[in-house]
Amino acid sequence: MRITVGSRQSRLAVRQAQIVMEELKRHHPEAEISLVTMKTTGDRILNRTLGQLGGKGLFIKELDLALQEGRIDLAVHSLKDMPMETPAYFPVLACTRREDPRDVLVLRRGLENLKEGSVIGCSSLRRKLQLGALYPEAQIKNIRGNVLTRLEKLDAGEYDALVLAAAGLIRLGLEERISRFFSAEEILPSAGQGIMAVQGRPALREMAACTNDREAALEAAAERAFVRELEGGCSSPVAAHARVCGDTCRLRGLYYDEQSGEYSIGERTFNIEENDPAQAARTGRELAHELRDRYAGKS
């Protein structure tokens, strides 16, 4: 059996694909597994925000085409970079074990603390909204590029600090750059943050099952349903984070009201029944309705 795995060209994307390939090889030693990398539209255009470019789909467009043309059999993505709707003919076959989902602060080399007026590099509206409460005196400046490119810009003096996903730094072996972890209560993570998605034809679901993590799949189902119900994307600060603890799952979601400029965070805890992603998704939709209705009642 020959399986070709596709990923973006960045060092982080390649490392993530390798993690999935190692797991596939461990469970399917007879398979010949190879990697194909490609640069996506989102990687090439760095002078505009994702909202201006048209959304998260720009990071998977070329990989989707490679799947359709049969040049690759599986694609590995950061789940947080995937659109909330995926095609039925190339579904998410597995969600890998979740790495630390939190956001972190990375200071410029040689800098020990942030001062008034410090420049923090961040392009995510979700992060900007919540950073305003933590660092009201800071300047938030847009930044694009992969993790290593952003770190180069940081250490070159363009920024005093960055806010990045812990998972990416950990997978790259760059934990020592982390100056501070933000709790999920301080900055609610992006839906799917820390989870890798394995996408491909439904016929490969059984083979990819070895890379699937039960808890991550349930958490992803709840988070993505919340964001999907609110039609949140890269241009919206909508966020969600679920955590499975034993037989229950706690979901927290952030709803942003565009008219008032206010945001609200709510939560729901539900019992896990037979590892049912549909149940988790239902809870995500219910929480989204609850928060949206809260603001609808004010207008």
User: Would residue 145 count as lying in a domain?
Assistant: yes
Q: Which CATH number belongs to the domain containing residue 10 in this structure?
A: 3.40.190.10
Are residue 63 and residue 110 in the same domain, yes or no?
no
User: Would residue 187 count as lying in a domain?
Assistant: no
Least confident of 6-10, 123-127, 190-194: 123-127
User: Would residue 280 count as lying in a domain?
Assistant: yes
Report CA-CA distances (Å) from 104 to 26, 74, 164. 32, 30, 5
Instruction: Check residue 229 and give its pLDDT.
Output: 94
Distance CA 94, CA 207 (A): 10
Are residue 61 and residue 199 in the same domain, yes or no?
yes
Are residue 81 and residue 223 in the same domain, yes or no?
no
Are residue 120 and residue 254 in the same domain, yes or no?
no
Quick check: 53 pLDDT over 50?
no
Instruction: Beginning with the edge strand found earlier in the chain, give each strand of the sheet holding 180-181 in spatial order.
Output: 139-141, 119-121, 161-165, 103-107, 180-181
Are residue 6 and residue 127 in the same domain, yes or no?
no
Quick check: 241 pLDDT over 80?
yes
User: Would residue 278 count as lying in a domain?
Assistant: yes
Quick check: 262 pLDDT over 90?
no
Active site residue 81: yes
pTM for the predicted model, two decimal places? 0.90
Picking from 278, 260, 279, the residue whose alpha carbon sits closest to that of residue 269 is 279
What string of DSSP letters covers 26-95?
A: HH-TTSEEEEEEE--HHHH--SS-HHHHT-GGGGTHHHHHHHHTTS-SEEEEEGGGS-S---TTS-EEEE
Are residue 158 and residue 223 in the same domain, yes or no?
no
Q: Whose structure tokens read 């659109």?
A: 83
Distance CA 164, CA 104 (A): 5
Q: Which CATH number belongs to the domain containing residue 278 in this structure?
A: 3.30.160.40
Are residue 111 and residue 133 in the same domain, yes or no?
yes
User: Would residue 293 count as lying in a domain?
Assistant: yes
Are residue 69 and residue 205 in the same domain, yes or no?
yes
Tens digits of residue pLDDT in 163-189: 999 999 999 999 999 999 999 999 999
Q: What is the mean pLDDT of residues 82-100?
A: 94
Q: Which of 43, 64, 73, 81 is catalytic?
A: 81
Degrees to nearest 5, angle at CA 108 with 106 and 111: 105
User: Would residue 190 count as lying in a domain?
Assistant: no
Instruction: Check residue 175 and give its pLDDT.
Output: 97
Instruction: Check residue 52 and give its pLDDT.
Output: 44
Are residue 28 and residue 42 in the same domain, yes or no?
yes
User: Residue 288, SS3?
Assistant: helix
Quick check: 233 pLDDT over 60?
no
Are residue 217 and residue 298 in the same domain, yes or no?
yes
Number of separate domains in the chain? 3
Are residue 66 and residue 137 in the same domain, yes or no?
no
Give residue 87's domain range.
1-96+195-212
User: Would residue 188 count as lying in a domain?
Assistant: no
Tens digits of residue pLDDT in 65-87: 999 999 999 999 999 989 898 88
Are residue 207 and residue 78 in the same domain, yes or no?
yes
User: Would residue 189 count as lying in a domain?
Assistant: no
Cβ-in-10-Å burial (0-12, 13-18, 19+) of 299 comes to: exposed
